[in-house]
Amino acid sequence: MAHPSTTRVAIVVSHLTIGGAEQLLLEFLRHIDRTRFDLCIVFLREPGILGKEILNLGFPVTTGIIRYKFDMAGIFRLARLLKDFHTDTVFLINHLNTLFFGVLAAKLAGIRCCINWENETFKKYPFHPLTMLGRRILHLGIDYVVAAAMGHGDYIATEEKVPRRKIRAIYNGVDPDRFQSSLSPDEAKIRLKIPPHSPVVSIVAALRPDKAHHIFLKAARQVIDAIPETHFLVIGDGPQMNFLVNLAKELDIDQQVHFLGFQRQLGDIFAAVDINCLSSYPRQETLSVAAIEAMSAGIPIVCTDVGFMKEIVIENETGYLVPVDDPTALADKVVLLLRNHPERNRMSQNARQLVHDRLNVSHMAKEFESLMASKKE
């Protein structure tokens, strides 16, 4: 039985596949103060790959609230669960169906506080205008909308017409300890079958069209032309794997591009990396968790100017921003940093310090805790 002074929070999520927003939730749950908050986790569908890791955290979990896409009875199932848990705060995670089912169930159950944590930007839905109208109506039942960056908060106010008084910006945060390694750079490269002293450039992202890995590979071709010994790591999995492997062969860089698939333990891999890249298009990208993870390991970032990356990739301080869909610009900045060790080392220290100061999961958890408890009577 929870202590009377604890805030009882129901975390409502659709399902958790592999992605930055999903990883953020997992880290948040690992760091929440369990002496102040009593949590239950509700999956509208099945847990998914990362959801299975949440099952190991020891929170009460309910799955399968909705049985099909428009299962309206799921609203009543969820409302009953919220009442039975004596919920103070409903915390909705990112997905459209959690907003729909969560807001209606919270109102039906008479919940005091409802929070929606958004981590997507510029997403286009089927029947987009109608969907956005529906989101605006549902947000009438939301007390707070959490944005991932200051600019993201402006986007939510402008595009979703959410009143600014409801918006709180809480930066994405990671646990820096997860991305440290005892390996030297040369040892880490040898483990990856890369010659010691070779420069290494990485990209960490799901292999989806919006991440534009083909731009990264075309830039890699140009970097190799300038610095032939450079190697590249493609970390992630997804539907474009075969296309990208074939593209690397067509570009004649397949011997220096290493497709590592999805990796949960990145510390020893990051120990080998000199620069991390992001080549995304401005679709769904908000504030890349993978970029923050690399920064926590002291890796400068070269990325496309998408979402609100400029709030963490500070020009000439923690990395460089380049135009979208421009492999030459991406390659030029990578080459510039690879050839300038003092500059790269300075950016490395700045990146690590920024994560410590502003992008740490402990800071993120404390800000969420303050918000979740703010409406408790």
Cβ neighbours for 144, distance < 8 A, ≥ 6 positions apart: 113, 114, 115, 116, 166, 167, 168, 371
Instruction: Indicate if 245 and 339 belong to the same structural domain.
Output: yes
Query: What are 145's strand-pairing partners?
Result: 116, 167
Classify residue 2: in a domain, yes or no.
no
> In this structure, what token pair is assigned to residue 46?
């099945």
Is the predicted pLDDT of residue 225 greater than 80, yes or no?
yes
Which domain covers residue 216, as residue numbers? Answer: 176-358
At residue 264 the predicted structure's pLDDT band, cuts being 50, 70 and 90, is confident
Instruction: Indicate if 336 and 236 belong to the same structural domain.
Output: yes
Percent of the chain with pLDDT over 70: 97
For residues 218 and 372, give the distance between their C-alpha atoms in angstroms, rounded to a whole number: 45
* Lowest mean pLDDT across 16-25, 305-314, 363-372: 16-25
Instruction: Indicate if 310 and 206 belong to the same structural domain.
Output: yes
8 Å CB contact between 21 and 93: yes
| Range ranked top by mean pLDDT from 154-158, 206-210, 333-337, 367-371 | 333-337
Classify residue 273: in a domain, yes or no.
yes
Q: Is 288 exposed, middle or buried (0-12, 13-18, 19+ CB in 10 A)?
A: buried
Instruction: Indicate if 251 and 185 belong to the same structural domain.
Output: yes
Instruction: Indicate if 214 and 160 belong to the same structural domain.
Output: no
pTM over 0.95: no
At residue 240 the predicted structure's pLDDT band, cuts being 50, 70 and 90, is very high
20 vs 224, more confident: 224
- Total number of domains constituting the chain: 2
Instruction: Indicate if 153 and 269 belong to the same structural domain.
Output: no
* Lowest mean pLDDT across 64-73, 146-155, 225-234, 311-320: 64-73
Classify residue 1: in a domain, yes or no.
no
Instruction: Indicate if 134 and 183 belong to the same structural domain.
Output: no
- Beta-carbon-side half-sphere exposure of residue 198 (alpha carbons within 13 Å): 22
Closest CA to 229 of 203, 256, 190, 251: 256
> CATH no. for residue 233?
3.40.50.2000
Classify residue 146: in a domain, yes or no.
yes
Instruction: Indicate if 243 and 317 belong to the same structural domain.
Output: yes
Instruction: Indicate if 251 and 364 belong to the same structural domain.
Output: no
C-alpha distances in angstroms, 256 versus 132, 219, 223, 233, 284?
44, 13, 11, 9, 29
Instruction: Indicate if 127 and 224 belong to the same structural domain.
Output: no
Report the 3 state secondary structure along the chain: CCCCCCEEEEEEECCCCCCHHHHHHHHHHHHCCCCCEEEEEEECCCCHHHHHHHHHHCCCEECCCCCCCCCCHHHHHHHHHHHHCCCCEEEEECCHHHHHHHHHHHHHHCCCEEEEECCCCCCCCCCHHHHHHHHHHHHHHCCEEEECCHHHHHHHHHHCCCCHHHEEECCCCECHHHHCCCCCHHHHHHHCCCCCCCCEEEEECCCCHHHCHHHHHHHHHHHHHHCCCCEEEEECCCCCHHHHHHHHHHCCCCCCEEEEECCCCCHHHHCCCCEEEECCCCCCCCCCHHHHHHHHCCCCEEEECCCCHHHCCCECCCEEEECCCCHHHHHHHHHHHHCCHHHHHHHHHHHHHHHHHHCEHHHHHHHHHHHHHCCCC
Instruction: Indicate if 100 and 190 belong to the same structural domain.
Output: no
What per-residue string of b and e applies to 160-198 under the rule 16 or more CB within 10 Å gives b? eebeeebbbbbbbbbbbebbebebebeebbeebebeeeb
Instruction: Indicate if 134 and 263 belong to the same structural domain.
Output: no
Is the predicted pLDDT of residue 87 greater than 90, yes or no?
yes
At residue 20 the predicted structure's pLDDT band, cuts being 50, 70 and 90, is low
Is the predicted pLDDT of residue 2 greater than 70, yes or no?
no
